[in-house]
């Protein structure tokens, strides 16, 4: 099953991030945040006491037919990979 990452960062910023962490999968640049809006992950967040719009880190498992099988909202890095692998079994 392929893995694809997405963020509102520019392709240049993503290239640096991908190289820094040696990511083996593609990253999609959602600079205009249209994908984030479509998936409902663009949320109001509190940043240093100020409300701003930001991306809620989310993992979505989509099957080969394009159907969403599972959504992991408010992802925390610690233990998440194992949680996703368990869901894929």
Distance, CA of 41 to CA of 37 (rounded, Å): 6
At 41 the pLDDT is: 94
At 89 the pLDDT is: 87
Break the chain into its structural domains and give their ranges.
Answer: 5-88
Query: How sure is the predictor about 86, in pLDDT bands with cuts at 50, 70 and 90?
Result: very high
Structure confidence by residue, pLDDT tens digits, 22-61? 999 999 999 999 999 999 999 999 989 999 999 999 999 9
* CATH placement of domain 5-88: 3.40.30.10
pTM score of the predicted model: 0.80
Query: How sure is the predictor about 2, in pLDDT bands with cuts at 50, 70 and 90?
Result: confident
pLDDT at 80 over 90: yes
């Amino acid at each position: 099953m392929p893995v694809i990452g997405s963020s509102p960062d520019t392709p240049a910023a993503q290239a640096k991030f991908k190289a820094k962490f040696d990511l083996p999968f593609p990253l999609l640049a959602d600079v205009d945040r249209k994908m984030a809006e479509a998936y409902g992950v663009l949320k109001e967040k509190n940043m240093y006491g100020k409300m701003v719009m930001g991306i809620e880190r989310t993992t979505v498992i989509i099957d080969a037919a394009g159907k969403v099988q599972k959504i992991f909202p408010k992802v925390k890095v610690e233990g998440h990979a194992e949680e996703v692998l368990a869901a894929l079994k």
